[in-house]
Chains A and B, each alone.
Chain A
Amino acid sequence: MRITTRKLLDRAFTLCAYFAVALMTLFLLFVLLPIFGKGAGAYLFTGTVEHRRMLLDQFNRGDAEQFSAEWADVQQARRPIYAAVAAFEKELPGLPAARRKELKASYKEIRVGLGVLLGSEPGKPLPALTRGLYGQTRWDRAQEKVSNILYEETWDYSGGAGKRVLVPRQPLFEGTALAPIFPLLQNNLRDLLHPRFTFYPGFLIDKSIDAHFFGGIGAEVMGTLYLALGAMLIAVPLGIIAAIYFQEYATEGAVLSFLRSCVNTLAGVPSVVFGLFGLAFFINTLHVSPGKSVLAGALTLALLVLPTVIRSSEEAIAAVPRAYKEGALALGAGQWHTILTVILPAALPGILTGTVISMGRAAGETAPIIFTAAVSVGRMIQPSELLTQPTPTLSWNLYNICTEHQAVEEIRHVQYGMAATLVVIVLVLNLTAILLRARVARNLKG
């Protein structure tokens, strides 16, 4: 091979390596940007009057006086619509049968659409589900919903694959009492809903209302925190003790290498198998709780993170300079005394780093808690129920509301909000760990 070709190959190889690193970084952005971008939309969005009504009714939040003035305005704007509907109801029986038949299906869809857009009509009996009570709380959703009223959705199969076609309904209702609502909805939607830029921090702490149609993810956030903290409460003492044993007491030999390979194997067990074990052992054999519970989940998660805690604690203890230990021993301190007063305090930041990373892992895991701790529909759990009750969690409920929810498309913003919240919690924990580690490295350097 000539030297020019070798140089070319060398350059190409370097480029290739850069490309791989760039690809990795780009993919991280590709994953995080939509989650963060759209997830922020759960907290910051253009909210309608319905959102403020919901907050006032359900969470008693907001200025009641100001709201009632606004609500009066909105009612004023909505009155012509309800009047037109009532007039059309009266007119309908008098129309010729053929015309009636033509209008009926479309009219039904319009009624449903109005309920979805504006909520239940004042003075009418209350709907069975809360989702029927309030209209669209978000302006972006409201604009989508209004098009369901204004247009009929049909599918054109002439080109083979189906194509969505929107047919305006207005011509159909020309000449009836219902006709005035179309221009009203088209042009005066702002008056009907009063969209306004809204910051909704309550999303993080509010309970969900009617299967996440309204409200926030407070129950899930609390469940995740309880589980992660519980797991750390169990795993950290165990992990530190094991690390002390491995580093300070154990002597090389068959027993030690056996224990070490046990810990290594534990690190390689698939997470879903931890879930099976938690179900078979903690719940079906030990009966730590009558069914799924936060306790069983925390025990299972503790086992999952144990190898990480042990390994990072060991590294932290091993990084303590020998001189510290020898100094303490030379001053006449016993081994226990040395460990408790010299080695552990010096290793603490390092141990903390591992703990924080493990906590992030425990907060994000889903598979181990499916059979041991998580429920899809549940209320916010009280601290007194931790030992007996299951809880909703961010991870499991994110899965649940984007696959098994009855209206997956309607609550996309909640899904993104939940995903973003979970990722932020985990990444903040990891960033803390990274910063902690940087400090440890600086301190050790002196």
Chain B
Amino acid sequence: MNTGEHIILSAGEKTRRRIFGLVGRSFLFAVTSVAALAVLAIIFFIARDALPFFHEKGVAAFFFSKAWYPAQSPPQFGAAAIFAGSLLVTAAAVVLVVPPGVCAALCMSDILPFNVRQVLKPVIEMLAAIPSVAYGFFALVVLAPLLQNAGGRVLSVAWWVLALPMLALGSVVAADLLSSQRLSETSYRLVRGLLTFLFLALSLVLIVQTGNRLGALQISSGVNALNAAIILGVMALPTIVSVSEDALQAAGRELREGSYALGATRAETLVKVVVPAAISGIFSAILLGVMRALGETMVVWMASGNAAQIPKPWYNLLQPVRTLTATIAGDMGEADQMTGSAHYHVLFAMGLSLLIFSFFCNLAGEWIVARQRKRLRGG
């Protein structure tokens, strides 16, 4: 048999192949579209079940009233306290986690040797992989009793560990800054020594007083906003570390070498050159962390105490709060799945709010990344 026949295709074969390819291509496109458009279906169906609530009860009461009594008759569905709870817990988690997260990312990208980094990557992946319900279990069974029985002591130890080195360093630096203005060498030393001593004494007073106040604190319930925020922070940590690390790595070697060549120390290079260059990546890392913390359900359900109230004062993390996700999970629960009741629809209204928020976070993240890319391309 002549093989040449197979290489040159007949006209019929050619059309068949073209049709076959076209069909295959449309099949791939169709399947991909289904996968991608699922998100539109989600938005549509959540909105479909959320709108009856807004129709019936109005928008203002939902967002601005603090009266959450779904079981009363007539039921009241004011979700302001629940929105506040979600915001408080998320904000606290982000405040707790961003400084150590960004520090850890800097450490991994610029300070640690390659081998250690290879060991740490799995640690981060494990932190990310632990199921949220296991974190919730930990919060409920280990952290909550710890906070309840020894919360004051734990907080005061944490305060000492963090504040003592920070304030000591701050005193030395502040004394140096103040005294290095146009002074001769001997008077510089004298003034600097005196100022350092003064600042150290002041900060020691501050540390001891605050530490004592924290140590005397009685935490009435271990399940509270602080507990949830700590665990949420830990859960958001892997996202923040790995995304910021990528951004820091992407800042490039030339930038760092240029800075070193100008005589900057490593810390100065990182803080003044690398971080500003990677700031948009770090922002999108924080946004992703916010989304993770806000959308997390099991941990807040188990650790936040589930009291639909705004803490007094509003920043008091030691009081229980209730979040959107926990309300959805808890109230839908196992009993109340009847389509049509206002309680059913209000939970979809909360879901819709979460969805819209995460949608905007996503848009913001993509916008930041796109802008950065454009700037880098533009030089």
Contact = CB atoms under 8 A, between A and B. Distances in A.
Contact of A265 (B39, B130, B169): B39
Interface string B233-255: 01001000100000000000000
Contacts of B362: 261, 264-265, 268
Interface stretch (B58-66, B208-216, B294-302): B294-302
Contacts of B89: none
Interface string B264-284: 011110110000000000000
Nearest to B192: A2
Interface stretch (B24-32, B75-83, B197-205, B307-315): B24-32
Contacts of A415: 137, 141
B341 interface: no
Contacts of B172: 5, 8
Interface residues of B, number: 97
A24 B123 contact: yes
A366 interface: yes
B235 to A, nearest CB: 10
A399 B299 CA distance: 10
A17 B36 contact: no
Nearest to A332: B7
B147 interface: no
B355 A9 contact: no
Interface residues of A, number: 96
Nearest to A6: B265
**By CB atoms of chain B within 10 A, which of A12, A31, A244 has the most?**
A31
B339 to A, nearest CB: 6
A5 B49 CA distance: 62
A276 B133 contact: no
Interface string B113-138: 00000001011111101111111111
A364 interface: yes
Contact of A12 (B99, B133, B169, B328): B169
A375 interface: yes
A426 interface: yes
B185 to A, nearest CB: 10
B337 interface: yes
A34 B134 contact: no
A367 B111 CA distance: 38
A419 interface: yes
Given A403-B140, A415-B141, A280 B131 contact: no
Interface string A395-408: 11011001100000
B45 interface: yes
Contacts of B160: none
Contacts of A21: 103-104, 107-108, 112, 120
A399 B137 CA distance: 7
A50 B201 CA distance: 64
B39 A13 contact: no
A12 B38 contact: no
Contacts of A259: 32-33, 36
Contact of B169 (A9, A18, A335, A426): A9
A260 to B, nearest CB: 8
The main secondary structure of chain B at its interface with chain A is: helix
B37 interface: yes
A5 B195 CA distance: 14
Contacts, number: 282
B66 to A, nearest CB: 22
Given A279-B337, A280-B348, A261 B237 contact: no
B100 interface: yes
**By CB atoms of chain B within 10 A, which of A273, A365, A395, A431 has the most?**
A273
A270 to B, nearest CB: 3
Given A13-B271, A268-B362, A281-B41, A422 B134 contact: yes
B329 A336 contact: no
A444 B290 CA distance: 36
Interface string A342-384: 0000000000000001001101111100110001100000000
Contacts of A273: 42, 46, 295, 351, 354-355
A423 B137 CA distance: 11
A272 B297 contact: yes
Nearest to B116: A21
A258 B40 CA distance: 12
A150 to B, nearest CB: 26
Contacts of B270: 13
Interface of A: 1-2, 5-10, 12-21, 23-25, 27-28, 31-32, 34-35, 238-239, 241-242, 244-246, 249-250, 258-266, 268-277, 279-281, 284-285, 303, 306, 310, 332, 334-336, 357, 360-361, 363-367, 370-371, 375-376, 395-396, 398-399, 402-403, 412, 415-416, 419, 422-423, 426-427, 430-431, 434
Interface of B: 7, 17, 20-21, 24-25, 28-29, 31-42, 45-46, 48-49, 99-101, 103-104, 106-108, 111-112, 120, 122-127, 129-138, 140-142, 165, 169, 172-173, 176-177, 180, 234, 237, 241, 265-268, 270-271, 288, 291, 294-298, 301-302, 325, 328-329, 332-334, 337, 339, 347-348, 351, 354-355, 358-359, 361-362, 366
Given A31-B138, A332-B7, A423-B131, 12 more contacts: A8-B169, A17-B106, A21-B104, A262-B37, A266-B42, A270-B295, A276-B347, A276-B351, A281-B41, A303-B42, A357-B129, A366-B297
13 contacts: A14-B266, A32-B130, A268-B288, A270-B354, A270-B358, A271-B296, A274-B42, A334-B17, A366-B132, A366-B133, A371-B337, A399-B302, A419-B134
Give 9 closest A-B pairs by Cβ, nearest first. A270-B295, A364-B131, A17-B107, A13-B267, A20-B103, A367-B297, A262-B36, A10-B265, A20-B104
